[in-house]
Structure 1
Amino acid sequence: MGKLPPSMRSAKVPLSLLKSTPTPAPSPSPMPHYLTMKSKSKPKTKTSYPNPNPNIGAIKPQPMLFSSPSLSSAISTSTSLLSSPSPPSINSLLQSFCRAGATSADSISFFNHLASSTSFAPDKSAFHILLYHCISSSSDISPVLRVFNLMSESNHPPDAASLDLSIRALCSSPKSPRLDDACSLILKSPVKPDEYTYNFLVRRLARDRPVSSVNHFIEHVRSKLSIQPNVVTYTILIDAWCRHGNLREATRLVKMLSDNGFKPDAYVYNTIMKGHCMLDDCGGVMDVYNKMKDEGVEPDLVTYNTLLFGLSKAGMMPSAKRIMKLMADSGQFPDVVTYTSLMNGMCRKGEAQEARALLTEMEEKGLEPNDCTYNTLVMGLCKAQHLDEAIELYHVMIIKGMKMDGPTYASLVRTLCRAGRISDAYEVFDFVIESKSLPEVSAYTGLESSIKWVQKRKP
């Protein structure tokens, strides 16, 4: 219990499979999904550029016009196609040659051939087709810089959208994110990144690299390009330090944010609160909330839900209920996450029946319970020995097409086996397999351990 994401028959369990596969160690419970939800106060971090590349997105791929990546063959074929009564567009020729598997060098040569031998005046989309192909077909960024040079010599010099496309393509490389190349391109590009592209790359670095290396990149960009971090950049770093459990550094960055003329908003404070929740530091959560109020920052729904989660997880239910009343008085009305957090806290305190009553209350208010709600209640009812009610909610999960998480499955199967309802335990096993809630080995392991416990208890 305490896991709040962001969710029929009896054949004998093949013990040989189980014996050969060690029981996986339980993973730490993830934070609930609301701790990474966007709040109204979060600055926009996503560029609004239209998709500049016909290779990806809504534009459908053109039919293949070339059967091989041979440059000489493509030149010959294109000459024939362009002299036909219904010639294809130049961009179609370029895109088709790239899709045929041409190297980045050959695609650039083909582009230059088309530009020099016809009345073709390359537009921005043609350059972007070439950019995307050079990124996907080459292991370094030199072809990308060549395309940027071609653009600089044309009527369509590279702009922020061109660099944004390139950085995002590098970071979403199918094999693995090319973060080093993306960092290098930012520094070598003839055009500076805008705040959206810059913060996008910082966020990707913070996801995959040590925070110290992200700091080094930020300082390097500051010195080389005179790009200063903004409130979004600081918030990304604060979140990264919180995820690593270093709240001291995260708090220092909040002060640095203020020292640089940025006022921390609700999103920043919510991020710090999330970090305290991850460390089960309920007092720290309350301190951040009080600081928000002192600084004149109005708490939003995510703030209250994070606070409620921390209090409920710590078993401080009277305080949690007071906060729920306070949020309603401030115009922030409880949602599914709010109720699920309270149910989780009640179940931890052994008040499963009271938590079950909250389900009825939230449904009466028009709120739709989710997978997390039902998983929390089923586990709480099992631990409180209210098996029939747990089975009732389990059947509702089946009807609604929900999935059961690992701890809930283990709790329900264990409770059924100890009650002598082995066939029902097999039915639950079938459900989690058919619904793909759990891997087969994990489901087998949970069922086998429960059955073995029952067998040992027999006289």
Structure 2
Amino acid sequence: MGKIPASLRSSAIPVTQLLKNPPQTQSSKPLPPSYFSSKKKPKSFKSLKPSLNPNSQSHPISLITSPILSDAKTLINSLVSNLNSPVDLQFHNSLLHSYSSISNLEDAFSLFTYMLKTLPSFSPDHSTFHILLSSTCNSNSNDSPLSHLRRVVDFMVFHGCLPHPATIDVAVRGLCVSGHAEDAVKLVSELHCKNSVTPDHYTYNFLVKHLCKTRSMTMVYNVISELQGSVGLKPNLYTYTILIDNVCNSRNLREATRLLSELSENGFKPDCYVYNTIMKGYCTLSLGNEVLRVYKKMIEEGVEPDIVTYNTLIFGLSKSGRVKEARKYLDVMAEMGLFPDAVTYTSLMNGMCREGDAVGAMRLLGEMEAKGCSPNACTYNTLLHGLCKSRLLDKGMELYGVMKSGGVKLETASYATFLRALCREGRAAEAYEVFDYAVESKSLTDFAAYSTLESTLKWLKKTREKGLAV
């Protein structure tokens, strides 16, 4: 716990050297190869080419390429005449999938019926009908596929295959992805009334989460109430977590508190993730007191904090100007057997830089590395921004040299602050060099990098005219 991924490991140069004898950029040791490791190359197209052997275990993809029904039947006749041994359901489903994905529902039904008559080994099950359901939802039409989904379900029942929770899951996900979440709610109620089938909580929570992202909370609550009345589905702990996370993201902490009380009233005990979510919400509002209050309540309720809890707490306290208090929780973490990670230290450094103690933040970086925790790009950018704000430009240049030697990308805020600090000190040539690195390293888009440089130079011209810059 608290271990930093290899992809985030930084320069082998300890930051303590920056505080004493700054190394030259040219002599900086390169970062470990894992830092620069590129993504694995994709497999060749040959290796991705589907097998057309009907007895192969892999799906024969796109066997039927024409939406014309007669062409599909002709191909099936040709395949049947060349088959020397029975084939499995996977092969039949692949045939149906390849055709239903490019044809209309009527023709897909017709091909299904033709396959039943022509292929003696074809014995459809739920997976077969789910292919038709999925293809119906994936059509490019702007019209709701609800009526077609109803037909597929009736077709399914007609052939002796009753819908079950997985059937609802396929239909609900398809309707939500295609932008018809309201119809998904209707279908859930209809299938429950007509076929006595109820979705499981995985499907239910998927629907709630999708509604939270795309609809108002008023509608979400109405749907929850409707499904509770018509289907008997009640929110569980994960449902409440989704709701709390959504209102916290919209900074409605009063509603989050109400949901927390409702959660407890319904017999659920808030877990670590629920408390972390609420703490995160208070962090966005810079309410350190409330973050601490939630943490203490969590302890009182006997819920064991994890590293995310402490990172959130330290970030919230640091952001609200309580860095000294936040640092105390490093010791608490150690007592709990948790190891501070890059997020922990970066949160503290950010708070220290806000207070104007960039040198102290650099010392903390040295302490961080001494304890075996490697900084990441966010750590470096936080420090660079803080050093420039504190007008410690030389130290900023030293840190930038380490970042450049390690290929660490510049973030927008630190890049803009760095350029302005350089121009303010009359070091325009170095500012142009930083601009070149930002472009070459793909830290920003060319437009963003150039427009920031241009606005900085305009600012410099104005300040010089007023006699406020070198």
Do both proteins adopt the same fold according to a TM-score greater than 0.5, normalized to the shorter chain?
yes
Task: Tell me the residue number matched to 2:468.
Answer: none
Instruction: Map residues 8-407 of structure 1 onto 2, 5 A cutoff.
Output: 62-85=60-83, 89-99=91-101, 101-119=102-120, 120-137=122-139, 139=143, 140-154=145-159, 156-173=161-178, 177-189=179-191, 190=195, 191-407=197-413
The structure-2 alpha-carbon separation of the partners of 1:180 and 1:391, relative to structure 1 and needing over 3 Å to count, comes to: farther
Q: Deviations over 1:161-196 (max 9, x none)?
A: 2322333333344xxx44233333333334311111
Contact 2:358–2:387 (CA<8 Å) still a contact in 1?
A: yes
Q: Report the 3-state secondary structure (helix = DSSP H, G, I; strand = E; otherwise coil) of the residue aligned with 2:82.
A: coil
Q: Distance in 1 between matches of 2:415 and 2:176?
A: 37
Query: How much is the aligned-residue C-alpha RMSD, in angstroms?
Result: 2.3
> What TM-score, normalized by structure 2, do the two folds share?
0.79
The structure-2 alpha-carbon separation of the partners of 1:184 and 1:363, relative to structure 1 and needing over 3 Å to count, comes to: farther
Q: Distance in 1 between matches of 2:190 and 2:433?
A: 60
Indicate the larger mover: 68-77 or 409-418: 68-77
Contact 1:403–1:436 (CA<8 Å) still a contact in 2?
A: yes
Contact 2:125–2:161 (CA<8 Å) still a contact in 1?
A: yes
Task: Tell me the residue number matched to 1:414.
Answer: 420
Q: Distance in 2 between matches of 1:397 and 1:188?
A: 59
Contact 1:276–1:285 (CA<8 Å) still a contact in 2?
A: yes
2:444 to 434, 438, 444: 438
Contact 2:65–2:98 (CA<8 Å) still a contact in 1?
A: no
Cα drift, residue 60 of structure 1:
6.5
Contact 1:273–1:307 (CA<8 Å) still a contact in 2?
A: yes
Task: Tell me the residue number matched to 2:28.
Answer: none
Contact 2:317–2:326 (CA<8 Å) still a contact in 1?
A: yes
Structure with larger Rg: 2
Q: Deviations over 1:61-85 (max 9, x none)?
A: 6254334201122223322322224
Q: Distance in 2 between matches of 1:146 and 1:374?
A: 58
Contact 1:105–1:143 (CA<8 Å) still a contact in 2?
A: no
Cα drift, residue 372 of structure 1:
1.3
Indicate the larger mover: 383-392 or 339-348: 383-392
Q: Distance in 1 between matches of 2:409 and 2:162?
A: 51
Q: Distance in 1 between matches of 2:213 and 2:126?
A: 32
Q: Distance in 2 between matches of 1:391 and 1:198?
A: 54
Cα drift, residue 156 of structure 1:
4.4
Indicate the larger mover: 182-191 or 286-295: 182-191
Q: How many matched pairs? A: 398
Contact 1:371–1:403 (CA<8 Å) still a contact in 2?
A: yes
Q: Deviations over 1:269-294 (max 9, x none)?
A: 11111111111111111211222222
Task: Tell me the residue number matched to 1:38.
Answer: none
Cα drift, residue 155 of structure 1:
5.6
Which blocks of at least 5 consecutive residues in structure 2 are unaligned?
1-7, 9-56, 466-470
The structure-2 alpha-carbon separation of the partners of 1:228 and 1:406, relative to structure 1 and needing over 3 Å to count, comes to: same
Task: Tell me the residue number matched to 2:24.
Answer: none
Indicate the larger mover: 236-245 or 215-224: 236-245
Contact 1:62–1:95 (CA<8 Å) still a contact in 2?
A: no
Q: Distance in 1 between matches of 2:371 and 2:84?
A: 63
